[in-house]
Structure 1
Amino acid sequence: MLLTGAQITIETLIEQGCKVLFGYPGGQVIDLYDALYEREDRIKHVLTAHEQGACHAADGYARASGQVGVVLATSGPGATNLVTGIATAYLDSIPLVAITGNVPNSLIGRDSFQEVDITGITLPITKHNFIVKNIEDLADTIREAFKIAKSGRPGPVLVDIPKDVQQSRFEYTPHDVVEKIEQRPAKEYKIEKAAKMLMEANRPYIYVGGGAITADATEEIIQLANTIDAVIGSTLMGLSVIPGNNERFSGMEGMHGDYASSIAQDEADLILTIGARFSDRATGNVSKYATKAKIIHIDIDRAEVDKNVSVDLGVGGDLKQALNEILKLVKPKENAEWQNRIKELKAFSKKSIDQNMPKDELNPYTLIKEVSKHTSDDTKIVTDVGQHQMWVAQYYEFKKPRTFITSGGLGTMGFGLGAAIGSAMYTNERTVLFTGDGSFGMNLNELATVATQNLPIVIILMNNGVLGMVRQWQNLFFDKHYSQTVLERKTDFVKLAEAFGIKGYRISDVSQMKDVIDQAFKEKGPVLVDCYIDKDEFVLPMLPPGGSFEDIITIKEDA
């Protein structure tokens, strides 16, 4: 059928399985929005308050669903407002397709109104990007964008469409949903060597990252840990791969990781790394990292092997396939001494939490635990970035993959509200956002979107009046020079929520906590709970800058 480029764009998005599109209209995408108007019964568009919020929403949708998220923006400032969101998706390997409009081909390069080289700007933060200069290439380019976004190590792809291409006409022929590019299997001799190393280990530690979620490898990891009697730890992005109540799981490791998980990794004689990239937040001082252990690294992205940490065996290929092949070769074994040591470490870790977070006070621990009483195993938990993010990572017990949605690699303050919108649009069920007053202030305009869509989001705002994580560093390492981290803002977040059309509650004392949280979760629509947290609460454990696991601070008195 003969369609305009704008109509072809929307038809191709529908064809590739896009059910929800996030975006904001503008001059160079009017034709695309007209095509959306004609097809509003087949694809839903969510109008956000800002393009950055739209991009975070598409990202949150992708994280919650495992599908490709899609965002649409106009040229110039509309396109550049996507940049932080695209970079966030890129650093966390999230499949995203960003569609931008541009000035007509005849005006490109002439500094036209709202013209910007968005493909040049986003080149370092996308897996690939395209500018479509001929309408005959349009549909296949969008299909290729979806294929690239979801193949191998996922990531964002941008497609820039000039206005004259949107307005031209061409024959549209429907196509099947594109399949992922098939990945080469791991080499047989490497699988055999990995299995041999695992069988020889007496203190095995399985270290999982976000790639394990992408690969849907939960069952294989648990089966392997049970077979070789290993402990399992995770990165921030790997949280939710393994149920928090699984006896094998020791928690997140790294700068603010669980003491038991970090020390177990340091004492292990073999670390099997699955879909993680040895980020500096996870390793601490890399020269002192895992000096007692041999390291096996399995990753779909072969470029990650030996990039940050030199390993003894790198296995490139699909994680699930590699693990299944390893499982065929390993035999059941027991490491009783190792398991006894893990029990000791877990006991010490629990004791540290009890000392740092008294159960009879309003603090991050008691608040998170109270909220968790109102959630199910399937509830999506979203965070912004900062102290609250680490507290959720430490104290919330995730039971299923894709239930923890956070910005890990880029650490984007302001990510949370947009991502919660995307998550709630996918599930149409209760979503919980944990945020801090610093992060929340960056994109709180998206409350307008939450209210307009009447999304069932509970916002738990940990309000300590400071930029907590930076202030904690200033306290510990900069002689308490609190330079620009005390906010001194007069914002009343309950009244703010009500101004947007959202129910607001406040908790200022532990005696109010249970009743207020109960009431908040009884609300059918969106709700915000402003929770006063002491500005001097610390995220512990903590690795000091340049430190190793032997330098972990566990108790506030030792900080």
Structure 2
Amino acid sequence: MLLTGAEILIKSLIDEGVKTIFGYPGGSVLNIYDELYKYSKEINHILTSHEQGAAHAADGYSRATGRVGVCLATSGPGATNLVTGIATAYMDSVPMVAITGNVPKALLGKDSFQEVDITGITIPITKHNYIVKDVNELQNIIREAFYIAQEGRPGPVLIDIPKDITANKAIYEKLIPKNVEKKEKHITAKSLEEVALLINECNRPFIYAGGGVNIAGASEEVIRFAEKINAPLATTLMSTSAIPCNHRLYTGMIGMHGTKASNVAATKCDLLITLGARFSDRVISSPDHIKNAKIVQLEVDPAEVNKNVKVDAFIIGDLKVSLESLMPLINNKKNEEWLNNINNLKTIKKLEMPEEGPLTPKFLFEKLDKFDKGDFIITTEVGQHQMWAAQYFNYKTPRTFISSGGLGTMGFGLGASIGAQMAKKDKRVFNIAGDGSFGMNCNELVTAVKNNLPIIVIIMNNNSLGMVRQWQSLFYEERYSETTLNRSTDFVKLAEAFGAKGLRVSMKENLEEVLKDALNTNGPVVIDYIIHSDKKVFPMVAPGEPIDQIIMEEDLK
């Protein structure tokens, strides 16, 4: 069948199982958008307000489902506006295919109107990228891109298509997607035996579970593993929701804003078992701080083994398969004294300090949790509110916490919430934002309203760039350089101007009523939740300090 490049692209996306894409049209992708018009019954295109929002929406769609998210932009500024979203996906190992148009081949390299070398720009932040110079190669490139995005450690792939390629014709033949097999070939008997020996010999095991648990769909395997060896278990920010928060072995988040139980356990264990994690500086602070324990690492990406921390044994391969292969080799363990010590740390309650104002982050999330039956998805922007969302909400099922971890992208959450809501129409999506982060990409409210998405945005409004202000308070002698916002924005009126419902909470007494109102609204809602600008995220570990040197709120009082 002889088809244009644009039609080959759309039919190939359909062949890959794509139902929804997020994008913004422009001159170089007009042929593609013309085909999208013709194939609108097969592919639902969501027009965002900005290309960055399209990338974040594709990212959120992928994180909520595990499938490949797809975004589309024109050449030049359209393509460069995707860059932050692509980098966000790359840092957090999110499978995404970003498609950009470009000027015709004859104009490449001539500083033509709206021309950029987007493949050159995105080399460091993609698993692979392509510029298509022959329409006969287009179909195989698309098929290969989807495979690469999902294979092994997932990540974004970019396909740049000059405009004349979308008009040229080539033979199209329906192809089934390239099969993505779990990586198993490096899971050797030797590596399994070495890891099992260390586990069987240890007395104080501790599990540090990273984002790879969600990516591999290995939550059940991790729980069974932890229960068999009776090891306390912590999650990173990226693996939040992978383990039910009420599980008896769960100690909470680990790292800079981790719990006392998790951080102390990491320094007092005799075996640190690392599952799908990369020893981020925000987790371990410095490798010297965990040198008293032996370390094993189960990881799909061999480049992450011995990169940040020297380990004593490792298994390279798909985490789910690795754990299934390891389980028969390990003994049942009790570790009663060790577990009692960690449980004692878990039961230490933070001293209740006088609150500066009537509303607190903890109060919000505890109240929100009472409405959740396991079908809430929480997306976040980046900052204090992000940490509070990870610390205080009671997550029950995997892939229900979606946040930018590695890149820390302010403005991520609203686009991601749109993608997650499009993917999971049976669930309710909340985007937890700070007033600073919300200001970056609040224009995507237009997208939520146009598509009548029942997203609830909760703005933790403290009139500041809260996390940066917190650092200025603790480490810069309260020199609040450019972190007090002093903006006159009325978020309720802003929401209404976009066509959403706007609500405000300024007293504890009306929070429950406002949440009920929001949940009963068939469409987007923005809740302005007023908190004090000096409210801080605790516990906290100062940068570079040992992770068991924990600053608590009462320490400052």
- What is the distance in 1 between the residues matched to 2:478 and 2:285? 23
The answer (yes or no) to whether the contact 2:538–2:551 under 8 Å persists in 1 is yes
- Cα deviation code 1:500-542 (max 9, x no counterpart): 0000100111122122122111112111110001111110010
Segment of structure 1 superposing worse, 246-255 or 511-520: 511-520
| 2:308 is aligned with 1:308 | yes
| 2:154 is aligned with 1:157 | no
Map of 1:114 onto structure 2: 114
Map of 1:395 onto structure 2: 392
- What is the distance in 1 between the residues matched to 2:296 and 2:264? 18
TM-score, structure 2 normalization = 0.98
- 2:341 is matched by which residue type in structure 1? R
Aligned equivalent of 1:506, options 504, 507, 510: 504
- Cα deviation code 1:299-351 (max 9, x no counterpart): 00000001111111122111111111110111212111001101110011xx1
| 2:223 is aligned with 1:222 | yes
What SS class does the counterpart of residue 244 from structure 1 fall into? coil
| 2:481 is aligned with 1:480 | no
What SS class does the counterpart of residue 237 from structure 1 fall into? helix
The answer (yes or no) to whether the contact 2:182–2:318 under 8 Å persists in 1 is no
- Cα deviation code 1:78-135 (max 9, x no counterpart): 0000000000000000000000000000100111000000000000000000000000
The answer (yes or no) to whether the contact 1:299–1:316 under 8 Å persists in 2 is yes
Deviation for aligned residue 1:2: 1.4
The answer (yes or no) to whether the contact 1:508–1:532 under 8 Å persists in 2 is yes
Which runs of 5 or more structure 1 residues have no equivalent in the other structure? none
- What is the distance in 2 between the residues matched to 1:485 and 1:468? 7
Map of 1:550 onto structure 2: 548
Which runs of 5 or more structure 2 residues have no equivalent in the other structure? none
Structure 1 pair 386–38 and aligned structure 2 pair: CA distance change class (3 A) = same
What SS class does the counterpart of residue 407 from structure 1 fall into? coil
- What is the distance in 2 between the residues matched to 1:480 and 1:132? 53
Deviation for aligned residue 1:362: 1.2
| 2:210 is aligned with 1:209 | yes
Deviation for aligned residue 1:229: 1.2
The answer (yes or no) to whether the contact 1:75–1:101 under 8 Å persists in 2 is yes
Map of 2:534 onto structure 1: 536
- What is the distance in 1 between the residues matched to 2:256 and 2:353? 17
- What is the distance in 2 between the residues matched to 1:247 and 1:402? 20
Deviation for aligned residue 1:286: 2.5
- Cα deviation code 1:145-185 (max 9, x no counterpart): 00000000000000000011000011110011221155224
The answer (yes or no) to whether the contact 2:59–2:89 under 8 Å persists in 1 is yes
Map of 1:376 onto structure 2: 373
- What is the distance in 2 between the residues matched to 1:266 and 1:272? 12
Deviation for aligned residue 1:285: 2.6
Runs of 4+ in 1 over 4 A off after TM superposition: 356-360
| 2:411 is aligned with 1:414 | yes
- Cα deviation code 1:222-269 (max 9, x no counterpart): 111111111111111011111111101101100001111111111111
Segment of structure 1 superposing worse, 309-318 or 276-285: 309-318
**Aligned-pair Cα RMSD in Å:** 1.3
- 2:144 is matched by which residue type in structure 1? E
- Cα deviation code 1:334-386 (max 9, x no counterpart): 111001101110011xx11x525869941000011111222231321100000
Map of 2:200 onto structure 1: 199
- Summarize the alignment of residues 352-501 of structure 1 with structure 2, pairs less than 5 Å apart: 352=350, 355=352, 361-428=358-425, 429-501=427-499
- 1:548 is matched by which residue type in structure 2? P
Map of 1:238 onto structure 2: 239
What SS class does the counterpart of residue 474 from structure 1 fall into? helix
What SS class does the counterpart of residue 373 from structure 1 fall into? helix
- What is the distance in 2 between the residues matched to 1:376 and 1:154? 30
- What is the distance in 2 between the residues matched to 1:210 and 1:316? 16
- 2:517 is matched by which residue type in structure 1? Q
Segment of structure 1 superposing worse, 24-33 or 257-266: 257-266
Map of 1:21 onto structure 2: 21
TM-score, structure 1 normalization = 0.98
- Cα deviation code 1:445-484 (max 9, x no counterpart): 0000010000010111100000000000000000000000
- Summarize the alignment of residues 30-429 of structure 1 with structure 2, pairs less than 5 Å apart: 30-183=30-183, 184-288=185-289, 290-348=290-348, 351-352=349-350, 355=352, 361-428=358-425, 429=427
Map of 1:11 onto structure 2: 11
What SS class does the counterpart of residue 486 from structure 1 fall into? coil
- What is the distance in 1 between the residues matched to 2:476 and 2:356? 30
Map of 2:525 onto structure 1: 527
